[in-house]
Amino acid sequence: MRNQKLAEEKLNTYHQESILNYLDQLDDRQKQEMINQILQIDFEQITKLYEDTKKTKKINADQITPIESIDKEKIDPKEKEALQKIGEQIIKKDEYAVVTMAGGQGTRLGFKGPKGTFKLDIGQNGKYIFEILTDHLKKSKKLYNIYPYWYIMTSQENNQQTIDFFEKHNYFGYDKNRVKFFKQGILPMLTQEGKLVIENNKIKTASDGNGGVYEALKKEKMLEDMKSKNVKWVYICGVDNIMVNPIDPIFIGLTIKHHMQIASKSVMKACPEEKVGVFCRRDGKPSIVEYIELSEKMRIECNKMGDLVYGDANIVSHLLTVEAIEKISHKNLKCHLAIKNNLYKFETFIFDGFQYLDDMLVMRIKREEEFAPIKNKEGVDSPETAKEIYEKKFS
Ligand code: UTP
């Protein structure tokens, strides 16, 4: 009763009367569930996020300066060998883990179910995205006789389905004792008028964006788990790049050699107009500048060699120390607005955490070697384009 009163007060204070009216139509169990949901919502935060959507985003080009990348192809072969050895040591000592962020909604792909369970028309029987990612990781077993620890971030919505999928497929031959699933946080979705939404007798929520990975790793005790296992380096990537190369000792070696706590892989922007985020420094700190933030001058600016100054596109392929993740996990990342199915969704981005580290290394790799994202149902970055890139390399 007391909780109901508290929930009603909150709804009244924040002008969510329609939810208040709806509560009375629910049976006791449903009502209790919704009351619990309401009590967990930070209405102050939601109100502020909604108010922020009305403000125009200030773009301050003066804060942005370039960050130079190292082209993997251009590293001297002798040095490559040395870097390879450094990286291999980390993997062989079992100090390496991989985090796959699979908590997204995959709205653009329009597939019902976790994106990783999407089956591509590859090979004789087709291959699931999760199966392909498992294949890439199994490279480490073959080369170093070790299955890296694998942490899979899911959402409240798709967690059970994801676990069931891996169980059903026997982890595609991966050592299941080395796999852990953890759930990311949620935020309520809002109508464009700032109202909460009901779906299936519950307040509609969505994952809090891939920037939620830092907090989720901490909250769900995955950082603790990593530390207990003496993991030092964590490679974080998205679920939707089927060419991802998580076993890359040169990348690890290069990061260590440069005394960095964080490194990212990039690909060269296909053309100045490509709508991708590119690496930069913002107020001197590592960051990513989004396409719409780049001025026309910056978009086309070239260096002496004729390469774009802001030409290193983000492919969501990041390597961090456990300490760096822990440091960022204590910060409040800013929220960005996305409009999904006409509703407001608030999400944090993983790269908004980079600013809390002094510097970062960017290693440029060849697009066709390591980048084939599946975002859209058809056209660019679709199952069809990804399949083409994949088959060029692997068959
Ligand atoms: P995207 O930005 O492509 O989002 O995520 P999405 O939700 O998968 O797809 P759309 O925009 O609804 O079509 C990039 C990566 O970050 C993960 C995704 O699973 C993907 O690997 N992600 C995104 C999360 O893990 N959690 C989130 O809340 C958002």
| 306 pLDDT higher than 90 | yes
The total of other beta-carbon atoms located within 10 Å of residue 389's CB is 18
What's the pLDDT tens digit per position in 253-299?
999 999 999 999 999 999 999 999 999 999 999 999 998 888 899 99
Phi, then psi, of 149 in degrees rounded to 5: -60, 135
pLDDT of residue 62: 85
CATH 3.90.550.10 segments of the chain: 76-266+315-394
* Nearest-CA residue for atom 9 of ligand 1: 106
Ligand 1 test: best mutation among 161, 187, 213, 239, most atoms within 8 Å of CB?
Answer: 239
Which residues, 6 or more positions from 207, have their beta carbon under 8 angstroms from its beta carbon?
A: 103, 104, 105, 155, 156, 157, 184, 185, 186, 347
* Nearest-CA residue for atom 23 of ligand 1: 104
Token pair in block for residue 9: 């007060």
The candidate with the shortest Cα–Cα distance to 244, out of 100, 148, 376, is 100
Q: What is the mean pLDDT of residues 320-330?
A: 98
Element (H, E) at 180: strand 179-183
What's the pLDDT tens digit per position in 68-94?
999 999 999 999 999 999 999 999 999
CA 106 to ligand 1 center in whole angstroms = 6
Token pair in block for residue 117: 């369970």
Q: What is the mean pLDDT of residues 355-383?
A: 97
Alpha helices in 121-211 (DSSP H): 129-144, 159-168
CA 102 to ligand 1 center in whole angstroms = 7
- Of all residues in the chain, the percent with pLDDT exceeding 70 is 100
CA 291 to ligand 1 center in whole angstroms = 18
**Nearest-atom index, ligand 1, CA of 108:** 13
What is the per-residue DSSP string for 131-154? HHHHHHHHHHHHHHS---EEEEEE
| 59 pLDDT higher than 80 | no
What's the pLDDT tens digit per position in 205-262?
999 999 999 999 999 999 999 999 999 999 999 999 999 999 999 999 999 999 999 9
Token pair in block for residue 134: 């498992």
Token pair in block for residue 315: 């492919």
Provide the β-strand partners of residue 262. Answer: 320
Show the CA angle centred on residue 244, arms to residues 285 and 337, nearest 5°: 50
**Nearest-atom index, ligand 1, CA of 238:** 21
CATH T-level fold of 76-266+315-394:
Spore Coat Polysaccharide Biosynthesis Protein SpsA; Chain A (3.90.550)
Q: How many residues does the chain have?
A: 395
CA 391 to ligand 1 center in whole angstroms = 24
If pLDDT is split at 50, 70 and 90, which confidence band does 56 have? confident
| 103 pLDDT higher than 80 | yes
Residues within 6 Å of ligand 1 by CB: 101-108, 115, 153, 184, 207-210, 212, 238-240, 316, 340, 347, 375
What's the pLDDT tens digit per position in 186-220?
999 999 999 999 999 999 999 999 999 999 999 99
**Nearest-atom index, ligand 1, CA of 240:** 21
CA 267 to ligand 1 center in whole angstroms = 19
Does the global pTM surpass 0.85?
A: yes
Element (H, E) at 253: helix 249-257
Provide the β-strand partners of residue 187. Answer: 206
User: What is the chain's mean pLDDT, rounded?
Assistant: 96
